[in-house]
Structure 1
Amino acid sequence: MPVYAYACTACGHAFEARQGFDEPSLTVCERCQGALRKQYGTVGVTFNGSGFYRTDSRAASGSAAPAKTPAAPSSGSSSTD
């Protein structure tokens, strides 16, 4: 279950509440009966590894893979008499 942070607009009381996604938001402060507001903060997500940046899928301009050259025909079994 997610934890939501609330703060009262009247008295400034701040607290966290564990609520399910389908439960309604809290609206009344338990201390002064004032109005509550949800507090939003930054989320601690870090994307590590390859594939998360635009430049990960591109080859560097000077280090492109060498072009394939056609193989030379073998001089063994085929004859052109």
Structure 2
Amino acid sequence: MPTYSYRCTVCGHAFDAQQSFSDAALTACPQCDGLLRKVFSTPAVTFKGSGFYRTDSKSSSSNKS
């Protein structure tokens, strides 16, 4: 199950919640009943460079006869 980060717009309370993809987003702060917003951050895994596609590792000039 994915973990989502939330922060209250009223009191600033921040917390993480494990929710299924089909669950509705949380809207009320558990401390003050204020409005919650999801906190988005950079992904944990970043793919850089070549070689991630099947055609990346093939050389266009390599013709075997």
TM-score norm. by structure 1 comes to: 0.61
Q: Which residues of structure 2 form unaligned runs of 5+?
A: none
Moved over 3 A (4+): 56-59
- Give the structure with the higher percent strand: 2
Bigger share in helix: 1
Equivalent-residue separation in structure 2 for 1:37 and 1:49 (angstroms): 34
Structure-1 residue corresponding to 2:20: 20
Match of 1:75 in 2: none
Which of 10-19 and 40-49 deviates more? 40-49
- Residue 48 of structure 1 and its aligned partner are, at CA, apart by 6.7
TM-align CA RMSD: 2.9
Identity %: 54
Aligned pairs, how many? 64
Shift of 1:52: 2.9
Q: Which has the higher contact order (CA 8 A, sep 6+)?
A: 2
TM-score by length of 2: 0.74
**What are structure 1's unaligned runs of at least 5 residues?**
69-81
